Amino acid sequence: MKRFSQLMFLQICILSILFLPFSAKDEQLKARDDSLQWMTALDEFIRTAPDLEGAISGISVRDTSDTSLLYEHQADIRLTPASNMKLLTSAITLDILGETHTFLTDIWMDGSIQKKTLHGSLYLRGTGDPTLLEEDFAALAKQVKKAGIHTIRGQLAADDTWFDDTRYSIDLPWSDEDQYYGAQISALTASPNQDYDAGTVILEVKPGKKAGQKAAYDMIPKTDVAQVINQVKTVPEGEKKKSLLSALTEPTRLR
C-alpha cells in the first residue's frame, strides 16, 4: 500500500509538471487575445465612428509601469491638446495633493458672542473647492446657527485670497470669456449644479403662452449680480428662434 501511494504521488507530480506550461501558456494567450480585442475595437471605432468622420486623431497608449508602447494611431501628429490637457493637470494635482486631499471651506470670526449675537464679523474662507454648491453655503449657515450665533453685529466677508486675483487664465482667448468653460475663477467660486461649471449661472428658457409674448426664464442660482435683459419673443412653431444669450454686452449684463 505504501509503494502504491508513492507511485500515485509520482504520477500526480509528473502530470502537474506536464500541465503547468500549458496553463501558463493559456494565460499568456488569453492576455494577448484581450489586448488584440481592445486594439481591434479601437481601430474599428476610429474607422467607423460617425463623430470622427472627417476628423484627425492621434492616439498613443502606453504601459504605466514601464512606458512601453501598447498602441498607436498617428501618434506623432501635432494636434492642439484642447481639453486633453485636463488629463495632465488632473494627474499632476492627484500626484501632488494625494487621493485623500479635501478642499476646506470654513468660517472664521472675530469679536465675542453674547446672547446669541456675534459682536464682530464672520469670514467665509475658500481654498478652491471645485465642487462648491449653493446648498453647501446653506449647510455652513446652519453650522453657524448651531454654534449659537443668530445675529451678527458686524460684517460677513468672503475671503478668496487663497488664490491670486487673476480671474481669467492668462492664455484664454477673449472669444471664450462668455463661454461656460471660460468663467472667472477664485478660491471661493461655486457651481449652479453638479456639472460643476464653477462661476456660471444657468438660464432655463421657456416660451410664452402665445406668439408675441416674451419668453420666460429661470436663473439658477437666483442672483442679482447678473442682470438679464430679456428681448426674446415667442414665435409660432417652425419659425426662426433666437437665443436669450445672443450677446454679452457687459460682465454683469446678459442679453
Q: Is residue 12 part of a domain?
A: no
Please count the structural domains in the chain. Answer: 3
Q: Is residue 173 part of a domain?
A: yes
Tell me the residue range of the domain where 239 lies.
201-255
Q: Is residue 34 part of a domain?
A: no
Examine the fold and report which residue of 146, 178, 194 is the final residue of a domain before the chain moves on.
194
pLDDT value, residue 63: 87
Mean pLDDT of 126-143: 95
pLDDT tens figures, 174-222: 888 888 888 999 999 999 999 999 999 898 888 888 888 888 889 998 8
Element of type H or E holding 142: helix 134-146
Which is higher by pLDDT, 27 or 115? 115
Q: Is residue 93 part of a domain?
A: no
Contacts 24+ apart (CB under 8 A), 115-119: 116/148, 116/149, 116/150, 116/151, 117/149, 117/150, 117/151, 117/152, 117/153, 118/149, 118/151, 118/152, 118/153, 118/154, 119/153, 119/154
Q: Is residue 16 part of a domain?
A: no
Q: Is residue 215 part of a domain?
A: yes
User: Which grid cell is 90?
Assistant: 488632473
pLDDT value, residue 22: 41
DSSP tally for the chain: helices H, then strands E: 3, 13
In a shared domain, residues 166 and 245: no
Is residue 81 within 8 A of residue 101, CB to CB? The reply is no
Query: pLDDT confidence of 241, banded at 50, 70, 90?
Result: low
CATH number, residue 158? 3.50.80
